[in-house]
Amino acid sequence: MKHIESDALVVRTIAYGEADIIATFITESSGKLSALIRGGRKSTRRVGGGLEPFHTMRLRLDDRGGELVTLKDARIVRVRAGVTASLATLEAAGTALRWLRHLVPPRHPEPAAWATTLGLLDALDGGSAEPRVDLAGAALRLLADVGYALDLARCVVCGKPCPDDKPAGVDAARGGLVCHACGGARQVLTPGVRRAALAAQRGERAAFTRDEAEQVLAMVAVAMAAHGGIAPK
Ligand SMILES: [Zn+2]
């Protein structure tokens, strides 16, 4: 049996039977883990004041290698009540946790994706002025963090670099740009969006307008569907 102590985010809770719930966590040290919380439908107070998403929890778990681990205890170590202050921040945070749940494999830590998600949640908690812009930047980073970075510099078919000052077709399902000679793509990124997206991939602050952020999020939805099996929403 392995004893695990790690920071974690709750990414899903589902009812199980009359009284219990199954909670899925993304842990910093051990990736995705699910635990049966007995009596959890009545009260999750036993587990550190609740299983609210967006707050960082510190968990102690016993892992016997089965499908479910045993939750010994949990406490909240970082409250992010500000996330729920507006529908826009709440939705952005919910989307990010859904991505994280699909991108992080069971029992395999993804420290970069963990850090990117916490960074976004902190920004949303702090009253982000542009939640969709922050979400778009984090999304590009998140894909890169888990090895699915979109190639926004060269054609994914022929490998030719795309000139910095020209619009470029992008097919996120194929992993990035597709040049004219290789058939192009329906979605077209302006040079400005592409520059900002490349900067966001490197971890710089996203410098998208609202409209550009929506273009990026549409592209990301296709990439997430291709890689994480996440239905575009
Ligand atoms: Zn090409």
Q: 3-state SS of 88-144?
A: HHHHHHHHHHHHHHHHCCECCCCHHHHHHHHHHHHHHHCCCCCHHHHHHHHHHHHHH
| pLDDT reported for residue 228 | 67
| pLDDT reported for residue 233 | 46
pLDDT tens-digit map of 111-137: 999 999 999 999 999 999 999 999 999
d(CA 134, CA 139): 9
Distance from Cα 143 to the centre of ligand 1, integer Å: 22
Distance from Cα 200 to the centre of ligand 1, integer Å: 24
d(CA 99, CA 97): 5
Distance from Cα 225 to the centre of ligand 1, integer Å: 23
Distance from Cα 221 to the centre of ligand 1, integer Å: 23
Distance from Cα 214 to the centre of ligand 1, integer Å: 25
**DSSP letter for each residue of 50-70:** ---TTSEEEEEEEE-SSSSBE
Q: Are the C-beta atoms of residues 143 and 230 closer than 8 Å to each other?
A: no
Q: What is the mean pLDDT of the chain?
A: 92
| pLDDT reported for residue 231 | 57
Buried b (16+ CB within 10 A) or exposed e, 99-130: bbbbbbeeeebbeebbebbbebbebbbeebeb
pLDDT tens-digit map of 200-209: 999 898 899 9
Tokens of 160: 């030719």
SS3 of residue 204 by DSSP: coil
Higher pLDDT, 16 or 26: 26
Element (H, E) at 47: none
d(CA 95, CA 167): 28
d(CA 218, CA 184): 17
d(CA 62, CA 3): 5
pLDDT band at 230 (very low <50, low <70, confident <90, very high): low
d(CA 114, CA 104): 9
Distance from Cα 153 to the centre of ligand 1, integer Å: 11
At position 1, the amino acid (one-letter code) is M
**Per-residue DSSP letter, 186:** S
Place of tokens 């299983």: 51
